[in-house]
Structure 1
Amino acid sequence: MKEITASMAGTVLNVFVSSGDQVNAGQEVLMLESMKMEIPIESESAGTVQELKVNIGDFVNEGDVLIVLE
């Protein structure tokens, strides 16, 4: 099981994947907004989205788990 985590604190601006979607390494899966900047979050490895841990508008801290991959 692989986890995609937040690289910095911010608000979830957009989620580009859904549960069950296949993702590739380097694919943008989520967009955070921090200090008025948009920060893309990419998957470090390929896999299937097992669980989304956040919703649009949620505030996350650095290191929080955003998405769980199988």
Structure 2
Amino acid sequence: MKKIEANMAGTVLQVLVQPGDRVEAGQDVAVLESMKMEVPIQAESSGTVSAVKVETGSFVNEGDVLIELED
């Protein structure tokens, strides 16, 4: 199981994937807003989305798990 984590604290503006979606390394999977900037979050490796742990509008801290991937 691979985890995609927030690289900073912020508010989730968009979740761009859902369970069952196939993602490739480098693909944008979510967008956070932090200090009035939109920050895309990218998958570090390829896989299939097994779970989305956040929803639009929720606040996350650095290191919080956003999305889980399976091989």
Q: TM-score range by the shorter chain?
A: over 0.9
Q: Does 1:30 align with 2:30?
A: yes
5+ residue gaps, structure 1: none
User: Which residue does 2:62 correspond to in 1?
Assistant: 62
- Identical residues among aligned pairs (%): 67
User: Which residue does 2:13 correspond to in 1?
Assistant: 13
Aligned partners of 2:33, 2:25: CA distance in 1, in Å?
Answer: 22
Aligned partners of 1:4, 1:59: CA distance in 2, in Å?
Answer: 16
User: Displacement of 1:40 after TM fit?
Assistant: 0.3
User: Displacement of 1:45 after TM fit?
Assistant: 0.2
Aligned partners of 2:40, 2:15: CA distance in 1, in Å?
Answer: 10
User: Displacement of 1:12 after TM fit?
Assistant: 0.1
Question: CA offsets, 1:24-69, max 9 Å, x none?
Answer: 0000000000010000000000000000000000000000000000
User: Which residue does 2:48 correspond to in 1?
Assistant: 48
What RMSD, in angstroms, separates the aligned Cα atoms of the two structures? 0.3
Aligned partners of 2:18, 2:7: CA distance in 1, in Å?
Answer: 20
Which residue identity lines up with residue 34 of structure 1 in the other structure? S
Q: Does 1:2 align with 2:2?
A: yes
User: Normalised by the size of structure 1, how large is the TM-score?
Assistant: 0.99
